[in-house]
Amino acid sequence: MQPAVELPAPQPGLFALIRSDIRRKQEHYVLVNRFFNKWIKIGMQHGTLAVVVYRFGHWAFTRKSSLARALFGALYRSWALPVTWLSRVYINPRTPIGSGFVIHNFSAVFVDAVSIGENFTINQGVTIGPDYKHDGVPTLGDNVFLGSGAAVLGNVTLGNNVVVAANCLVGRSIASSSVVAGVPGIVVMKDIPADYVGSVPAHMK
C-alpha cells in the first residue's frame, strides 16, 4: 500500500482575495465602526482601488490560456494606467501577494518582489524593489508591516512577523519576528508576536 500523497492547498480565487483584503482593512483600519466608513469610504480609497486593480492584473497574467492572458491583460492595462496615475501606486502584477493585503495610506508606492506573504501592510512612500546592483528583488514573508517612507531593496528576505519602521532602509535579510529601524536598518526588537501590528488574518469566506 502506497503512502497517501498530500495535495497542495488550493489557492484562493480572485474575489476571495479581494474580500480578504477589504475585510482586513475593515477589521484593523476603521476608527469609527459605521457603514459609511467600512464600505463606502474604504471602497473609494485610492489604496483600495490600487490593490483591487493589482489583484485583477495578477489573475490576468496567471491564466493558462495565452488568449485569455492577452485579453485580460489588455483590460488590466486599461485600468492600471489611470489608477496608477491617480493613486501614485505601482504594484507589479506578476508579484504573488497573499491574502489580507492593505495599503493603509496611498501615494508614492512601488512594489516589485519575488513573492509576498499574507497580511501585508504598507503606508505611503514605500519602495520594494531592486537596489543599485539590480541582482534581484526582495522576498517577504507573512505579517509584514512597512511604515511610511520605508524601502526594502535588493535580493533580500524578510521573514514572518517583521515590522519596518518609517523611513527605514533595509538592504539585508531580516529574521522573523523582528522590528527594524534606521538607515541602514538594524534590528531593534526581537521575538514580537504575530498580532503586533494587527496581523490577525481576515476570514477568506
DSSP classification of residue 172: S
Residue 52: predicted pLDDT: 96
Q: Is the dihedral of CA 130, 106, 200, 179 positive or negative?
A: positive
| Residue ranges of domains in the chain | 14-190
Query: Is 173 a residue whose pLDDT tops 60?
Result: yes
Residue 197: predicted pLDDT: 64
Mean pLDDT along residues 104-127: 92
How does residue 103 score in pLDDT terms, banded at 50, 70 and 90?
A: very high
Residue 199: predicted pLDDT: 53
Starting at the earlier edge strand, list the strands of the sheet with 162-164.
102-103, 121-122, 144-146, 162-164, 178-181, 186-190
How does residue 6 score in pLDDT terms, banded at 50, 70 and 90?
A: very low
Query: Is 132 a residue whose pLDDT tops 80?
Result: yes
**Amino acid at the residue 51:** V
Mean pLDDT along residues 166-173: 95
Class of domain 14-190: mainly beta
C-alpha cell at position 185: 536598518
Query: Is 165 a residue whose pLDDT tops 60?
Result: yes
Kindly list the distances between the CA atom of residue 11 and the CA atoms of 17, 22, 102, 142, in Å, as whole numbers in the listed order: 10, 18, 19, 16
Kindly list the distances between the CA atom of residue 148 and the CA atoms of 76, 125, 131, in Å, as whole numbers in the listed order: 27, 6, 19
Residue 27: predicted pLDDT: 85
Task: Specify the pTM.
Answer: 0.85
Query: Is 124 a residue whose pLDDT tops 80?
Result: yes
CA 8 to chain centre: 22
Q: What percent of the chain has pLDDT over 90?
A: 68
Task: Give residue-wise pLDDT tens across range 34-81.
Answer: 888 888 888 888 999 999 999 999 999 999 999 999 999 999 999 999
Least confident of 21-30, 69-78, 82-91, 124-133: 21-30
Of residues 202 and 138, more confidently modeled = 138
Query: Is 9 a residue whose pLDDT tops 70?
Result: no
Least confident of 39-43, 156-160, 191-195: 191-195
Determine the 3-state secondary structure of 168 from DSSP: coil
